[in-house]
Amino acid sequence: MEQMITAVMSLAAIGSGLGVVLGVAARRFAVEGDSRVEEIVAMLPAANCGQCGFPGCEGAAQAIVEGEASPTCCPPGGKVVALAIAGHLGITLGDDDMEEAPKIAVIEDAICIGCTKCYRLCPSDAIVGAMKQLHGVFAEACTGCNQCAEKCPTGAITMQELPATAGTWVMPKPPMAA
């Protein structure tokens, strides 16, 4: 009997002690809003292209933090951004999640009429050119956000994969052992 009382008493004491600690901690370290959203926004390419299906990069960040969207939902950011976000939020990405190679805009010379629509739209100033002149894409700056291709009146812009060169080639991962 005495043992039982000791056990009950000690458990009760431990429980209430921890309860108090937790309660105080919850009050003291309460976080207003979710700081993670801002941190994720800072990681996204800020093109506000809408390819993810959310209103702007902030909307996407909100959705990723809430778990409604995968970190891989941003095509312009690609693998690098997805991995950074996943690492930040502690999510593991599968190997197959990022199968698609990044694409960039390519302008078909023969069809381009030099209307400058794409030039004015491009969020990262990746398109160069002037009125009535052939436009060109600066591949290094293109995020592949697809906004120019949507607005091109002649359909001269297509999204294409970057060709592999010896300089950018990466040795493929060996297949799994049997």
Partner 1 sequence: MAHVVIPPIRRLLTRWGIHPDSHKFPAAGLDIVDAGLPPLLVLPLSQQAGAPARAVVKVGDHVLRGQLVAEAVGHVSAHVHASTSGTVLAIGDAPMPHPSGLPGQGITLRPDGLDRWAPREVEPYPINLAPEEIARRVAAAGVVGMGGAAFPAAVKLALGQRSGIHTVILNGSECEPYLSCDDRLMQECAGDIIEGARLLLRATGAQHLLVGIEDNKPDAIDAMKVAAHPYPEISVVRIPSRYPMGAERQLIHTLLGVEPPAGGRAADVGVVVHNVGTAAAVWRALRHGEALTERVITVAGGAVAAPRNMRVRVGTPLSWLVERAGGLTREPARLVVGGPMMGVAVPDLDVPVGKGASGVLALTAAEVGEREPSACIRCGSCVVACPVGLMPLEMANRINAGELGQAEDIGLRDCLTCGACGYVCPSRIPLVQYFAHARGELMARERERKRLDEVRELTEARAARHEREAREKAEMHARRKAERAAAQAAEAAAKAAATQEESA
Partner 2 sequence: MNSPVQASPHALSRRTSGHIMALVMAALVPATLAGFWQFGWPAFCLWAVTVLSCVLAEALCLQWSGRRVAPVLSDGSAALTGWLLAMSLPPWAPWWIGVLGGFISIVIAKQVFGGLGCNVFNPAMVGRTVLLVSFPVHMTQWVSPQVLAQGTDLAQAIAIGLNGGIPDALTSASLLGHVKTELGRGLPLVDAMHGFLPEQSMLGLRAGSLGETSALLIGAGGLFLVFKRVIGLRIPIGFLAGLCIPAAIAHAAAPQAFLPATTHLLSGGALLCAFFIATDYVTSPSAPFGQWIFALGAGLLTWLIRTWGGYPEGVGFAILLMNAATPLLDLWARPRIFGRRIGGKPLDARRAREVTR
Q: How far is the CB of 125 from partner 1 (least distance, A)?
A: 5
Q: How far is the CB of 105 from partner 1 (least distance, A)?
A: 13
- Copy the structure tokens of residue 92: 């593991």
Answer yes or no: are the C-beta atoms of 106 and 127 closer than 8 Å.
Answer: no
Whose Cβ is closer to partner 2: residue 26's or residue 178's?
178
Whose Cβ is closer to partner 1: residue 52's or residue 126's?
126
Strands of the chain (E only): list them. Answer: 103-107, 127-128, 136-137, 157-161
Q: How far is the CB of 50 from partner 2 (least distance, A)?
A: 37
Answer yes or no: are the C-beta atoms of 149 and 124 closer than 8 Å.
Answer: no
DSSP bridge partners of 127? 137
Question: What does the binding site for partner 2 look like in residue numbers (CB under 8 A)?
Answer: 171-172, 174, 178
**Residue 80 binds: one of partner 2, partner 1, none (C-beta under 5 to 8 A by kind):** partner 1
**Which CA distances in Å does 106 have to 78, 115, 151?**
18, 16, 14
Whose Cβ is closer to partner 2: residue 131's or residue 171's?
171
